[in-house]
A = this chain, B = another copy of it.
Amino acid sequence: MCSRCNYREILERAGLEATPGRLRVLEVVGGHPAPLSAADIHRTVNRTGRLDRVTVYRILDRLVREKILQELSLGGRRRLYGMAPSEHHPPHPHFRCARCGAVQCLPPGGVRVDLGGVRRVFAGEIREVEVRLEGLCANCLSRA
């Protein structure tokens, strides 16, 4: 659990009831150092009580819609979920190991992206930028 986040308050500020299911999902996601899949979250939450698979999906959808969580697409088939950028959770890039598939959050601020050229030629409106790195993680490097 992120020590600086009050999940109940976050939910209520978004106009959502702070149900046990939602609180447990938030605790699992906020307390994990890397983004998790719906299946991971379902498994973890069900170690301490039960919450249906479908309910987990619905909670995740809702929390993403309210921008409490963010959904990441990092290769592989599964969508991953992490805390959305906010005061306590600055945006940061993600790394995925091409060998073992593990995903890590990288420190915020380590990557600078300059969109100048794109903003000049692109007719749409850019709202979010996601940076994804791929390569070999330290673990796989040492075992190579």
Residue contact B130 to A125, C-beta cutoff 8 Å: no
In whole angstroms, how far apart are the Cα atoms of A75 and B79 in the complex?
8
0 or 1 for each of A129-144: is its CB under 8 Å from B? (1 = yes): 1111111111011000
Residue contact B97 to A124, C-beta cutoff 8 Å: yes
**Residues of chain B with a CB closer than 8 A to A13's CB:** none
The answer, yes or no, to whether A128 is at the interface (CB within 8 Å) is yes
How large, as a class, is the contact surface on chain A?
35 or more
The answer, yes or no, to whether A7 is at the interface (CB within 8 Å) is no
The answer, yes or no, to whether A115 is at the interface (CB within 8 Å) is yes
In whole angstroms, how far apart are the Cα atoms of A107 and B110 in the complex?
24
Residue contact B129 to A131, C-beta cutoff 8 Å: yes
The answer, yes or no, to whether A54 is at the interface (CB within 8 Å) is no
A-B contact pairs, 23 of them (CB 8 A): A73-B74, A77-B77, A97-B124, A107-B117, A107-B118, A110-B117, A110-B121, A111-B115, A111-B118, A112-B114, A112-B116, A118-B133, A124-B135, A124-B140, A125-B135, A126-B133, A126-B134, A126-B135, A127-B135, A128-B134, A128-B135, A129-B131, A130-B131
